[in-house]
Every structure is written in structure tokens, then in C-alpha cells.
Amino acid sequence: MNSTKLNSIKPLTLQRHYNKLYYEDKKSLSVIKNLNKFLKTFFNYAIKEDYILSNPCIRVTLPIKKTVPDEKDDIDPFTLEEIAKIKKASKNYMRMIFLLDLGTGLRKGELLALTPADINFEKEEIYINKSLKKIKVFDSETKYHYETVIEVPKTKNSIRTVPIPKKLIPILKSYIIRQKEKYLSKGLILKENEPLKNFV
């Protein structure tokens, strides 16, 4: 998939890549699932920005783990080379979110619900108090649609403060400043409680 144009990536392209990672490169199922989650978020962003029309991850079937007695699915993190490639390929919002995920270990919903008000640069920490989720809303007994909502965590332990690695602080600051400038150029004011994912 090196140097592949965004609009040429099809479900079959990803399917072959995942199959190769699992069956030939012997990557664990957890690595492939994490990669698929990351790519799904990236392609959703690309759809929002009108680069592509549909998300190819949706129609991909992940490899099925073989059943072996007492087999454990060990965590297989990204290698330094893989991280470097993703950092080089991602830009703006996706780059910031990816680096923040690597540096803090926040859950996907927590990352997508972050607002400037949650980030304390003086104390170098992030206050986690909400999470973004997609919920199924029924219009009738047979029809439904999905809505994106921000919810307060159900457990007290999920509400917490997380330290920000020092190397990420200038990246976060720079990103937020650029977004505020973009808002001002359109005659708008960026709200401190607006999720980072909604920045233009």
C-alpha cells in the first residue's frame, strides 16, 4: 500500500493487506484491529473533508483468530518504523490525534471528545470527563439511524487527569492556535468547549 492514492484504496485493497499482515507477516489480531480502527477514523475524516465518498474499512472482514487451547493474544505494539510511517503520512488533525493517542493511551471516544478546555498546558495534563460515542436511535420498530453523542463516563475511575508528554505540548498548542486563526479568518470564534474533532 506504499504511495497509494487515497481515492484508489478499496475494501479489497485493505482486505489483502490485512490478510498479508496476519497470515504472512504473523502480526497479531490485536494489531490488525487497532490498525483498522485507526484507518476507519482516518477515512471518516477524509469523507468529512470531501476527499473520498465512502469508508473502505466498513466492508472489510478481519482475519479470524485460530482457536488454540490456552492461546493468549499478546499485545503487539507498533514498531518504531511503523510509527514513523504513520507520522509521516498523517497531517493536521489526524497527526495530532495519533501522537496524542501514542503519548497518553487515551481511549478512542475520549480522544474524539477532547476540547481545548480539557487541556491544561500549565500543569501539562488533560482532564478526562467525557467520551464520544455513536448510538442507535430507532425511528420506528424497523428503521433506525445513528447519532453521535458525548456522554459522561459511567464509572468514577474513568474521570481522571492524564499527563501530557512534554514533546506533545508544542504540537497541541500549535494545532489549537492554527484552528483559532482559521475560525477568525471566517469571522467566527472558536469555543473552548468545542471538541477538537470539529475544528475546521
DSSP letters of 39-70?
HHHHHHHHHHTTS-SS-GGGGPPPPPPP--TT
**Residue 157 clears pLDDT 70, i.e. is over it:** yes
pLDDT of residue 64: 66
109-200 sits in which CATH class? mainly alpha
Give the number of residues written for the chain.
Answer: 200
Q: Domain limits of the chain?
A: 109-200
Cα 60 to Cα 16: distance, rounded to the nearest angstrom: 10
C-alpha cell at 128: 478526562
> Hey, which residues does 151 pair with through a beta bridge?
131
pTM value > 0.85: no
CB neighbours of 95 closer than 8 A, spacing ≥ 6? 87
**Residue 37 clears pLDDT 70, i.e. is over it:** yes
**Residue 63 clears pLDDT 70, i.e. is over it:** yes
